[in-house]
Amino acid sequence: MKIKDKKNLLIQIIKGILVFLLFYYSAYIQLIPIALFNLDIHNISDSLNVLLSCFSNIVLAIILWFIYRKELKKEWNIFRNKALENVDIMVKYWVIGLVCMMASNILISVLFKTGQAENEQAVQSMITALPWAMLIDAGILAPFVEEVVFRKCFRNVFKKGWLFVLVSGLVFGGMHVVTSSSIVGYLFIIPYSCLGISFALMYDKTDTIFTSVFAHMLHNTLLTLISIL
**How would residue 1 be classed by pLDDT, with cut points 50, 70 and 90?**
low
**Selection from 155, 136, 102, 126 nearest residue 44 by Cα:** 126
Q: Name the percent of the chain in helix, strand, coil, to the closest 5.
A: 85, 0, 15
Return the DSSP state at 137: I
90 backbone dihedrals φ, ψ, rounded to 5°: -60, -50
Identify the band that residue 210 occupies on the pLDDT scale cut at 50, 70 and 90.
Answer: very high
Position with higher pLDDT, 153 vs 179: 153
Q: What is the per-residue pLDDT for 224?
A: 94
pLDDT tens readout for residues 166-203: 999 999 999 999 988 888 889 999 999 999 999 999 99
Distance separating alpha carbons of residues 100 and 41, to the nearest angstrom: 39
What does the alpha-carbon distance between residue 196 and residue 169 come to, in Å, rounded to a whole number?
4
pLDDT reported for residue 121: 85
**Residues 86-141: tens digit of each pLDDT:** 999 999 999 999 999 999 999 998 898 887 778 888 888 899 999 999 999 999 99
In terms of Cβ atoms closer than 10 Å to its own Cβ (0-12, 13-18, 19+), residue 69 is: exposed
Mean pLDDT of the chain: 93
- pLDDT tens-place string over residues 162-176: 999 999 999 999 999
pLDDT tens digits, one per residue of 43-87: 888 899 999 999 999 999 999 999 999 999 999 999 999 999 999
The predicted-structure confidence for 128-144, as pLDDT tens digits, reads as follows: 999 999 999 999 999 99
CA–CA separation, 107 vs 102, rounded Å?
9
- Quick: pLDDT tens for 8-53: 889 999 999 999 999 999 999 999 999 999 988 888 888 999 999 9
